[in-house]
A and B are shown apart, each in its own frame.
Chain A
Amino acid sequence: MVIETDVLTLGEWLFTRIPVGPIAVPRLLMWFVVMFVLFFVGMVVAFISSATRFGPIEGGRRVAVGLFEGLTDLFHTSPRRVAAMTWLAYKESIRRKVLWAFGIFILLLLFAGWFLDSSGSRPAEVYLNFVMFSTLCLVLVLAVVLSTFSLPKDISDRTIFTIVSKPVRRQEIVLGRMLGFTATGTVLLALMGAISFVFVLGGLNHDHRLRDSDLLPVTQRSDKDPILAGRTQKLTYGHNHEVKIYPGPDGKPAYGATDNSQGHFHEITVTQENGKNVYTVGPSQGLLMAREARYGKLTFRDRAGQDVPRGINVGNEWEYRSYIEGGTKAAAVWHFSDVNERDFPNGLPIELALRVFRTYKGRDIKEAILGSIVLRNPNTKRATKPLYFECREYFTDVKHIPREVYDSANQPLDLFRDIVHDGKVDVEISCAMPSQYFGMAQYDVYLRVVDHPFWLNFIKGYFGIWTRMVLVICFGVMFSTFLRGSVAMLATMAAIVGGLFMDFMQELAQGALGPMVAMKKIVTHQNEVLPLEPGMETTFLQTLDAGFLAILNITVWLLPDLGKFSFDEYVSHGFDVPLMLAPGVISHLLTMFAYLVPMFLVAHYAFRAREVAQ
């Protein structure tokens, strides 16, 4: 799985410095700075609009009074009234037949079952990505429609009159809607999640047929070996398994298992019926998992053995991974810390998902490239002897390092006494075949600490969808406090699109070319690279562009990056969503609130300033 931001603890994450122009500000402080800037800008805008209407002194007075009264009103928020407004919003959304969205979802799932390819090498990924993506789309559409039309409808129907003439504060009306629609969305999301879960289980679950005719007795076996081996019959899921059957205490075939291919295996039970063996292949296991991964810090050694921060670039544009050359002293070194006997009583389970870059085909293109793993004590530099493995692309290899290991002289060592020092251990991986390369990123190799239950991770994945839904709802309600329904909907959709394509927007914002200059160049058939002829017209266009790019930069700064709130990859790739790390559940929750608070305040003041009877 690709993780492009650093994995940090919550404490580290809160105080990571974010560069702003020449200085770098800790993240937590950054929020206050942005809030202050927004407040200042809001005050300026309010003053200008008030002063044009009432003159500078009276206008200033009105702004100050409005600010102060707004703040005191916030302190009079009553949970009872908010609860009543929440109930109203919830009832309104249910009565608007939002269950139609649910119906569409069921239909979608039913049709998708025909088209989803479960015979690929990663069926779980396909199914999980599909259900999570379709849930996200439906839930976001629902959120936009619910949240943007409710308040404007209240105002145009004038039902708001009866509300405003009661002792309800404006922020309670806004907050009630945000909470009420969140409640509706949560209920629907939970239902969709439950049905998705059943759908995924049903779609992935399969068994195979196994008969005596598929198996041959194993010759030359010892006690621990199976007595029968073979392959299952082919099934519509496009694969079959190698099978090993073991004897029971009476020497007859009793139980067995398939191999682990296509990301899963099955257990087999053998019963006797009418003197014949009946093989029951159990459900697939291992397809749906949630591995807790512990990551280390990655450094490299170049081909001369010198320590360098990155490996070489074999020509890839995407610089997420760097490479080491095979057959040289080049190695990728992961520095793990916090490795202890309590977490790993039986040794270290290391998982590797490396890339291979071939400069020649070898015997055939599918042949695996040999690599080696060495564990080294960072203090004494004592190392295990190399453990060789076959590296295949797009394949996660699991290597279990037992407690009893051997050094190069075949002397026995204890992993925790001799190799791990103060919880720290270095894992060095090198490529053994000359002129072939291994590619790796920091998060491609990890220690598999423990497996958590999949259903819990599934819920955490849906929590990722939930945070995005809440953000969209609050955007919608905020825009609807000062815009007409349809305009609020457009604005919210723009925020969603901007949030989903944040990378693209950032590229645009940091680029030098703006729309006015580009348009001129297109219309006059000039090429992209050469600058325009200097002159008044060019300067004018460039000034407009500078303004546009400034606005774009501010938008990129302010809009939440919706893609980063997603845990879909964690769930579909089988990694546990962390609670206390960033990115993780709590860090995302905090980020969500970091956006919700200013949105609520903007909605509060915008709605207060509005004369509902106009």
Chain B
Amino acid sequence: MVDATSGSTSPATTKSSAGAGQGEIVIETRNLSKVYSDFWGREKVRALKSLDLDVRRGEIFGLLGPNGSGKTTTMKLLLGLLFPTSGEAFVLGKKATDVSKNERIGYLPEESYLYRFLNAEETLDFYGQLFDIPRAERKQRIKDLIEKVGLTGAKRRQLKEYSKGMTRRIGLAQALINKPELILLDEPTSGLDPIGTREMKDLILELKDQGTTVVMCSHLLADVQDVCDRIAILHRGELKELGRVDSLLKVSGITEMQVRDMTPAAEKEVKEVLLKHKANLVSIGQPTTTLEDLFLKIVREEDERPGRRVVAERK
């Protein structure tokens, strides 16, 4: 187990073999509440009501909910951008308002809240200087990160000239500059095209493999389902559901089988076996791949062999 209070900048080396969701507690909230009030102290909005939550080391945790459910408020409370009205929040063993915890966390906001008059190198160098990283190592990390997010060609251009995708990528780079143990992603896949979304999801899974704990909040349910281990569903500031994705989504009572090379004769026999055991056949047919897989397959083929593709209308 990595000592959470040592302040080291290397990520936890505990692999997910310990079982995501079984590790030490990285984030904990107790009765966390947030009420927005106006200047005179009158209540305006109860954004979060008594939230009890914990996030374990090495897991990918999703905060789900419609707009206004309090998921962004929760994230801001965890980062110290807001102060709780009552209750407590702890991140990596310290109070959420303790700025020193930020040494080991990373944050990717929904929009790019970066300074547009700096270029990519200056941006990463500036944020890197805010961490306790030796100079030579910082320079090396900047080089590696720029390459990793694919911005080597544009590293000298000011951020105000970047496209949305490029801005998201430099935002990612600054979130990873300190090799955080915990990374918070606010709507990481919103606004991205299918390729970008796939890359982001791959990156999240890669982070988990490295032992980083990931907390993401999103309203894109399919993306959350794809990557998250545990989720919390919020609605109007209250926690409505909390648990592992696989166990939450399991439909009990139904068994699924996928068979290759099934002949019509085999199919007939299977149906008889089921009838004999008094099982109810709900449906039988060809499974569908996802639209994402189809899209990515087409794009990949196009990259390999550019040219007009023959499209046959399928009924």
B242: min CB distance to chain A, Å: 24
A162 touching B113 by the CB < 8 A rule?
yes
B171: min CB distance to chain A, Å: 8
Report how far A597 CA is from B122 CA in the complex, Å: 31
Q: Mark B95-125, 1 if CB is under 8 A from A, else 0.
A: 0000111110101010101110110001000
B130 touching A84 by the CB < 8 A rule?
yes
Among candidates B101, B113, B118, residue contacting A158 with C-beta atoms closer than 8 Å: B113
Q: Which residues of B line the A interface, CB within 8 A?
A: 36-37, 41, 76, 79-83, 99-103, 105, 107, 109, 111, 113-115, 117-118, 122, 126-127, 129-132, 174
A80 touching B129 by the CB < 8 A rule?
yes
A164 touching B131 by the CB < 8 A rule?
no
Measured CB to CB, the nearest residue on chain B to A88 is B126
B81 touching A166 by the CB < 8 A rule?
no
A167 touching B115 by the CB < 8 A rule?
no
B81 touching A161 by the CB < 8 A rule?
yes
Contact A162 B41, CB 8 Å, known A73-B99, A167-B100: no
B41 touching A611 by the CB < 8 A rule?
no
- B36 — which chain A residues lie within 8 A by C-beta? 614
A74: min CB distance to chain B, Å: 12
Measured CB to CB, the nearest residue on chain A to B118 is A91
B31: min CB distance to chain A, Å: 14
21 example contacts (A-B, Cβ-Cβ < 8 A) are as follows A52-B41, A53-B41, A73-B99, A76-B100, A80-B129, A84-B130, A91-B118, A159-B114, A161-B81, A162-B107, A162-B113, A162-B114, A164-B99, A165-B81, A165-B105, A165-B107, A166-B127, A167-B100, A168-B99, A611-B81, A614-B36
B80 touching A167 by the CB < 8 A rule?
no
Contact A613 B76, CB 8 Å, known A84-B130, A168-B130: yes
- B115 — which chain A residues lie within 8 A by C-beta? 88, 92, 159
Contact A167 B129, CB 8 Å, known A91-B117, A159-B113, A613-B81: no
- B114 — which chain A residues lie within 8 A by C-beta? 159, 162
- B122 — which chain A residues lie within 8 A by C-beta? 91
Among candidates A52, A80, A83, A162, residue contacting B174 with C-beta atoms closer than 8 Å: A162
- B105 — which chain A residues lie within 8 A by C-beta? 165
- B129 — which chain A residues lie within 8 A by C-beta? 80-81, 83-84
Report how far A160 CA is from B115 CA in the complex, Å: 10
A161 touching B131 by the CB < 8 A rule?
no
Interface residue count for A (Cβ, 8 Å)? 31
Q: Mark A525-549, 1 if CB is under 8 A from B, else 0.
A: 0000000000000000000000000
B230: min CB distance to chain A, Å: 23
Q: Which residues of A line the B interface, CB within 8 A?
A: 52-53, 73, 76, 80-81, 83-84, 87-88, 91-92, 95, 157-170, 611-614
Report how far A157 CA is from B127 CA in the complex, Å: 17
- B102 — which chain A residues lie within 8 A by C-beta? 165-168
Contact A95 B117, CB 8 Å, known A164-B79, A167-B102, A614-B82: yes
Measured CB to CB, the nearest residue on chain A to B100 is A167
Among candidates A52, A159, A611, residue contacting B83 with C-beta atoms closer than 8 Å: A611
Quick one: which of B83, B100, B129 has the most chain A CB within 10 A?
B129
- B100 — which chain A residues lie within 8 A by C-beta? 76, 167
Measured CB to CB, the nearest residue on chain B to A610 is B83
A562: min CB distance to chain B, Å: 32
Measured CB to CB, the nearest residue on chain B to A81 is B130
Measured CB to CB, the nearest residue on chain B to A169 is B99
Report how far A164 CA is from B82 CA in the complex, Å: 11
B180: min CB distance to chain A, Å: 10
Report how far A456 CA is from B257 CA in the complex, Å: 91
A499: min CB distance to chain B, Å: 29
Report how far A365 CA is from B115 CA in the complex, Å: 70
B131 touching A166 by the CB < 8 A rule?
yes
A611 touching B131 by the CB < 8 A rule?
no
A164 touching B113 by the CB < 8 A rule?
no
- A169 — which chain B residues lie within 8 A by C-beta? 99
B81 touching A612 by the CB < 8 A rule?
yes
- A613 — which chain B residues lie within 8 A by C-beta? 76, 81-82
- A611 — which chain B residues lie within 8 A by C-beta? 81-83
B19: min CB distance to chain A, Å: 29
Measured CB to CB, the nearest residue on chain B to A158 is B113
B126 touching A167 by the CB < 8 A rule?
no
A47: min CB distance to chain B, Å: 15
B40: min CB distance to chain A, Å: 9
Report how far A73 CA is from B81 CA in the complex, Å: 17
B26: min CB distance to chain A, Å: 16
B213: min CB distance to chain A, Å: 16
Quick one: which of B81, B103, B131 has the most chain A CB within 10 A?
B81
- A159 — which chain B residues lie within 8 A by C-beta? 113-115
Measured CB to CB, the nearest residue on chain A to B81 is A613
Report how far A165 CA is from B115 CA in the complex, Å: 15
Report how far A4 CA is from B37 CA in the complex, Å: 53
B113 touching A161 by the CB < 8 A rule?
yes
- A612 — which chain B residues lie within 8 A by C-beta? 81
Q: Beyond A166-B127, A168-B102: 4 further Cβ-contacts under 8 Å?
A: A81-B130, A158-B109, A166-B102, A611-B82
- B127 — which chain A residues lie within 8 A by C-beta? 162, 166
- B126 — which chain A residues lie within 8 A by C-beta? 84, 87-88
Report how far A168 CA is from B79 CA in the complex, Å: 12
B32: min CB distance to chain A, Å: 15
A165 touching B79 by the CB < 8 A rule?
yes
Report how far A87 CA is from B130 CA in the complex, Å: 12
Measured CB to CB, the nearest residue on chain B to A52 is B41
Measured CB to CB, the nearest residue on chain A to B41 is A53
- A161 — which chain B residues lie within 8 A by C-beta? 79, 81, 107, 109, 113
- B113 — which chain A residues lie within 8 A by C-beta? 157-162
Measured CB to CB, the nearest residue on chain A to B95 is A69
A142: min CB distance to chain B, Å: 18
- A163 — which chain B residues lie within 8 A by C-beta? 130
Quick one: which of A81, A160, A167 has the most chain B CB within 10 A?
A167
B133: min CB distance to chain A, Å: 10
Quick one: which of B79, B82, B113, B131 has the most chain A CB within 10 A?
B113
Report how far A169 CA is from B41 CA in the complex, Å: 27
- B41 — which chain A residues lie within 8 A by C-beta? 52-53
Measured CB to CB, the nearest residue on chain B to A73 is B99
- A88 — which chain B residues lie within 8 A by C-beta? 115, 126
Report how far A164 CA is from B107 CA in the complex, Å: 10
- B79 — which chain A residues lie within 8 A by C-beta? 161, 164-165
Quick one: which of A157, A166, A168 has the most chain B CB within 10 A?
A166
Quick one: which of A87, A160, A611, A614 has the most chain B CB within 10 A?
A611
Report how far A83 CA is from B109 CA in the complex, Å: 25
Report how far A99 CA is from B284 CA in the complex, Å: 75
Report how far A2 CA is from B310 CA in the complex, Å: 95
Measured CB to CB, the nearest residue on chain B to A170 is B99
Measured CB to CB, the nearest residue on chain A to B73 is A613
B188: min CB distance to chain A, Å: 15
A162 touching B109 by the CB < 8 A rule?
yes
Measured CB to CB, the nearest residue on chain B to A96 is B117
Measured CB to CB, the nearest residue on chain B to A80 is B129
Measured CB to CB, the nearest residue on chain A to B72 is A613
Measured CB to CB, the nearest residue on chain A to B107 is A165
Report how far A84 CA is from B115 CA in the complex, Å: 14
Measured CB to CB, the nearest residue on chain B to A58 is B86
